[in-house]
Homo-oligomer: A and B are copies of this chain.
């Protein structure tokens, strides 16, 4: 059975705790929106599309305790709580913006109706995400040759989305189309999403997978053992630059040197037309303990200086194609993305209204 990454169940949000995988499969039940925000920040749930759905469900949960009065102010505070959790993945802001629109249009209606509409929107986003992943999978599978060995980084699978996955959705769809494909999963230090989540998720689905440390990718490419690279994205700039898990840029440079196609699979909600270039994307700096410790085990000398940028930016020129649920964007990526994203109300809205958040993040960024 497919893993249930996040669900709305009887007025609560249920998530598998991804920090405990692969050793323990624990589902957590959240009844307070602050706990959901904390779960996003602490990476109980992660992956750009999954974060978006979690924020939407968290807001729907928070809306249950809204009282008539300063409704608008309280709702805005609720949204800001989620906007402050993680700065890089744009799906978070996109999801918050969709919830804001539902609120704005319906705040005059009875509060029970408003709550129901917010809940319905969050559930719609969940289902739309799975549907988008399936369409992305179909488009992406056409790019994969029979017998391919696909290298992937981090986890852009069912666990990073509402289900099925973006990069791993492409893998799943290729197999459903009868292609024999196998995956090389990079472990993805420091948080080990590749070792803990991708290897677990693929093994569970009986998809052949070989785990490596991140620094082995170059050697395997040199020896001709990688057919293509497929990764997800946390934010795609208007020119096609892609922010994704730290290490992605390195893989892209290596793929380029070895003439290996480099694909990004990401829903349109990940495209940020308001962001012209990748160097404008805020890069989250995470706690140093993620590097100095592996789970509870200390691996570096106490007090040593550590850097922990959680994402990097792959320039558009290194990307062969971006697979979206509306089709495959090829070079020049900027132009194709603009066409694919055109008419997305949410994209336009997000562009107009996300500016205050971006300024706050930029300030936070400088403090690191």
Instruction: Show the binding face of A for B, using Cβ within 8 Å.
Output: 22-23, 186-190, 192, 195-196, 199-200, 203, 208-220, 222, 246-247, 249-250, 253-254, 257, 291-292, 294-301, 303-309, 312-313
Contact = CB atoms under 8 A, between A and B. Distances in A.
Contact of A299 (B192, B212, B249): B192
Given A222-B249, A222-B312, A295-B297, 20 more contacts: A23-B298, A186-B215, A189-B189, A195-B291, A196-B299, A208-B305, A209-B305, A210-B306, A210-B307, A211-B291, A211-B292, A211-B305, A213-B247, A213-B291, A214-B215, A214-B247, A217-B250, A219-B309, A219-B313, A294-B299
A222 B306 contact: no
7 contacts: A188-B215, A199-B304, A203-B303, A212-B291, A215-B247, A218-B247, A218-B249
A304 B189 contact: no
Nearest to A200: B301
A307 B182 CA distance: 14
Contacts of A301: 22, 199-200, 203
A247 B292 CA distance: 19
A250 B209 CA distance: 22
Contacts of A308: 212-213, 216
Contacts of A222: 249, 312-313
Number of copies: 2
A210 B300 contact: no
Nearest to A196: B299
B246 A306 contact: no
B215 A306 contact: no
A196 B300 contact: yes
A305 B203 CA distance: 9
A135 B247 CA distance: 36
A182 B243 CA distance: 28
Given A187-B300, A192-B299, A312 B210 contact: no
The 3 A-B pairs with the shortest beta carbon distances in the complex, nearest first, are A215-B247, A218-B250, A189-B213
Contacts of A219: 246, 249-250, 309, 312-313
Contacts of A187: 189, 291, 299-300
Given A294-B294, A297-B295, A301-B203, A312 B218 contact: yes
Give the residue among A192, A296, A304 with the most B Cβ atoms within 10 A.
A304
Contacts of A220: 307
B216 A247 contact: yes
A211 B312 contact: no
Contacts of A246: 213, 215-216, 219
Nearest to A312: B219
B217 A214 contact: no
Contacts of A23: 298
Nearest to A302: B22
Given A219-B312, A222-B312, A294-B297, A203 B254 contact: no
